Amino acid sequence: VWALLLVGLAFLAQMPVRWRWAGIGAGLLLALVAMLVSWLLQLPWLALVGETLSGVTTSGGEVSRVDAALAYIDGLFGQNNWHLLWPLLVACVIWRRDVLRGQREAALLALLVAGGLAALFGLFVFTPAAKWAASETATNRLVLHWVPLAISLLALLLRDVPWPARTPPASPR
């Protein structure tokens, strides 16, 4: 999944600006055609995807999508185990949104981090992995994969901030 995010982002980054929306539309159209052909030919992979996305009933019982989503969000923002990393990242992205518009590297890294967290959200909310989100153990472990990229994004966003100068300590007389 992470490789698919990187490949998709690499294609998006290499595509000329005037062709980006056309390329995104062509990719979505290609995916739709592949799904339609799979449905018409009754290919087994589409049935497997349908079964997986049909609900979040687990062997331990029913876990609602709302509970799974709330557990995922609590894992990012409600618990104290991330030392305020994710709220800090959201605040910094809002504060330094002009950097995201002006620096291609920061914007691409922000898309990668957002895409990864969205993929995890989809995993934990729309599949039987919802039971893992409810326990909050697996969510914390999988989100941990994205911490180095989040720190790198923070560094890119904050590298040009004019921090106040520190005055040197007075020399003793």
Query: Is 119 a residue whose pLDDT tops 90?
Result: no
Residue pLDDT, tens place only, 35-50:
788 778 877 777 766 6
50 vs 87, residue with greater confidence = 87
53 vs 11, residue with greater confidence = 11
């326990």: which residue's tokens?
135
Q: Residues 141-164: what's their mean pLDDT?
A: 87
Find out whether 69 and 121 touch, Cβ atoms under 8 Å: yes
Residue 113 binned pLDDT confidence (cut-offs 50, 70, 90):
very high
Distances 85 to 35, 37, 70, 90, 153 between C-alpha atoms, Å: 38, 44, 18, 9, 11
Provide the mean pLDDT of the chain: 79
Tokens of 88: 């800090």
Would you call 16 helix, strand, or coil by DSSP?
Answer: coil
| pTM attached to this predicted model | 0.67
Question: 86: how many CB neighbours lie within 10 A of its CB?
Answer: 20
Residue pLDDT, tens place only, 3-21:
777 887 787 778 787 777 7
State the Cα–Cα distance between residues 129 and 123, nearest whole angstrom. 6
Distances 86 to 34, 77, 132 between C-alpha atoms, Å: 36, 6, 20
